[in-house]
Amino acid sequence: MKRLMYSGAGLLVLLLAFFAFNMATNVLLPGARLDLTEQKLYTLSDGTKQILDELDAPIDLYFFFSDSASKDLTVLRNYQRRVEEMLKEYERRADGQIRLHIIDPEPFSEAEDRAAEFGLQAIPLSDSGESLYFGLAGTNELAQREVIPFFALEQEGMLEYELSRLVSTLAKPDKPQIGLITGLPVDGGMNPYTQQPDAPWMSLEQVRQVFDVKPLAADIDSIPEDIGVLLLIHPKALSESALYAIDQFVLRGGKLLAYVDPFAEADQGMEAMIDGMADGKASDLGPLLAAWGVAYDPTKVVVDAQLGMAVGRGPGQRPARHIGWLEVEAAQIDSDDTITAPLQLLTYATGGALVPVEGSETEFTPLMQSTALSALMPSDAFSTLRDPEDLLKGFAPDDNVYTLAARLQGPAKSAYPEGMEGHEPGLTQADNINVVVIADTDMLTDRMWTQVRDLFGQRIAQPWAENAGLLVNALDNLSGSEALISVRSRGDFSRPFTVVEELQRKAESRFRASEERLQQRLAETDQKLAQLQQSQDPGQLTELTTEQRDAIQSFLDEKLAIRKQLRDVRYQLNADIDELGTQLKWINTAAVPALLTLGVLFWWLLGRVRRKR
């Protein structure tokens, strides 16, 4: 009885101690927490800390959330708590330079009027007129405003970046100016194929959140002095004067980010719309790349059997491996350069190769590369491509690793050492240039990196690759602002199923080889039948000889056997993946609890041994 009383009292003491510990930590350590996520998603990044530490004027943040209207929306309320906790962490870190106001905009209140005045998006919840606010507004001492109209669940991975971008914009309201020359419809417009209006590219929309983008003409003869960074996207119609202007801009210290392409699938120009004219979809920089120590062939596309993307071919058909559309993973991305170090996955569609010129003084640093299972293919092969697997017929890698994107730095000479007629004598060389060249433009289109949803008039990006991150990171770096780069890199919550993808890739390789053997045998059998028929009297072609019957039966038997083989390969693919899933389920349901139980037993036995001593 006493033992029972002692054990009961001990449990009560432990329970009281537990509650006391929680109360003490809530009071004494309100901001303390342990972040066990791999990417430290709940810990402020170094970039955010830098932005907050450099604040030299107060910023007011107004966080609006409809508490009563969301009482039944558990998932949304959980997200709201995360947003609120992160905003409080910003306030603590800013040491008085951020003033956080948490507001519940109840219906017909002054708070609701203020939320509407800021331009926050109210989401209707019912026919009764009840709506929900879940957004943020910020103001600085100059009365300038920045808002996040609504915190969409789909963008939770970009939460810290969006908050830091808002704070950074208010802290430095004068956005860096970017000059833009492009031959693609990045701002939308009428699609000549569908005769429907296209929305602006989301990648450029994200650029405009951080930079002041100034469009420039393709025949410009000088780059304005207020442009610090020049962005070229598919510069296929540049005049000679424009090329000379870019040459002089780079030599005098201007920064350049250039996207060129041997086969820009997004090109909707008249030349590009003519079937079979691959040259109409190509772009380059004339003599400039050669002057900077880069060889680039605008008629060749990089294909890679290892990085090829799996693409759908319609209902009832298995996915095809498109070796011209590449999924470039971390192993092929430079982890040392500031621009690419945070990136884990980029896509690259019918892009070209950049090759360093031997003996050039300009330093060539690859930022993104193919694997050794790659080769160069004429861009003409893509102008009439219908089935991506046609690219695999006769494909053989050349064992070269091709550079897909590169940074060019160091000494450089002018591509126009004699100057240009009609222009004043210009610079002939520079001690250091800073240029980033990427040999693909389609990677900036929405379909290659994100899904875009319309949420009550607000376009929401759900990225599955980091192509826009590469663009913004490069512009951040070239414009001298790097704080946001480390923040943006933390937006990916997904973990790739690399083992499953490898199983699929190997099985698809076996499946494709079997399919090719089947087609080859079918062709051989058809040829044999044709020869048999040619040897017979034309008037008796409807009558089958014994030899023909045997050949046909042999063909049918062989066809059935190979079809069974194909089914077995497909079954083996699923079997390998199912076996992996079974192993993981066993680990989660049995192995982990067993380990915990053994740990508790060990602790109990250790306690008994100590008590006996």
91-115 pLDDT, tens digit each: 999 999 999 999 999 988 999 999 9
Of 70-84, 334-348, 445-459, 557-571, give the lowest mean pLDDT range: 557-571
Of 221-235, 288-302, 585-599, give the lowest mean pLDDT range: 585-599
Judge whether residue 256 has pLDDT over 50: yes
Report pLDDT for 493.
43
- Which structure tokens are listed for 317? 């058909």
Q: For residues 16-35, give the mean pLDDT.
A: 57
Residue type present at position 54: E
Rounded Cα gap, residues 224 and 558, in angstroms: 71
Tokens 């040999």 sit at which residue? 439
Rounded Cα gap, residues 378 and 385, in angstroms: 12
Rounded Cα gap, residues 511 and 308, in angstroms: 16
The confidence band for 293, taking pLDDT boundaries of 50, 70 and 90, is very high
The confidence band for 62, taking pLDDT boundaries of 50, 70 and 90, is very high
Judge whether residue 607 has pLDDT over 80: no
3-class SS of residue 451: strand
Q: For residues 457-470, give the mean pLDDT.
A: 86
Judge whether residue 274 has pLDDT over 90: no
- List, in sequence order, every residue forming a beta bridge with 459; answer none if it has no partner: 454
The confidence band for 279, taking pLDDT boundaries of 50, 70 and 90, is low
Look over the chain and give the mean of its residue pLDDT values, rounded to a whole number.
82
Q: Which has more pLDDT, 397 or 459?
A: 397
Q: For residues 10-37, give the mean pLDDT.
A: 57
Q: Name which of 284, 260, 247, 257 is nearest 408 in CA terms.
A: 257
Question: E strands along 125-196, which residues?
Answer: 131-139, 145-148, 177-182, 189-190
What value does the CA radius of gyration of the chain take, rounded to a whole number of Å?
A: 31
Q: What are phi and psi of 124, to 5 degrees?
A: -65, 135
Report pLDDT for 501.
57
Is residue 325 within 8 Å of residue 347, measured between CB atoms?
A: yes
Report pLDDT for 5.
47
Q: Name which of 368, 379, 362, 177 is nearest 288 in CA terms.
A: 362
Judge whether residue 120 has pLDDT over 50: yes
- Which structure tokens are listed for 314? 């319609």
pTM of the model: 0.67
- Which structure tokens are listed for 218? 């393709």
Rounded Cα gap, residues 460 and 58, in angstroms: 30
DSSP label at residue 390:
G
Rounded Cα gap, residues 362 and 73, in angstroms: 58
Q: Which has more pLDDT, 609 or 153?
A: 153
**Could you read off the pLDDT of 180-198 as tens digits, one per residue?**
999 999 998 766 666 677 8
Most confident of 135-139, 163-167, 266-270, 313-317: 135-139
Rounded Cα gap, residues 468 and 204, in angstroms: 8
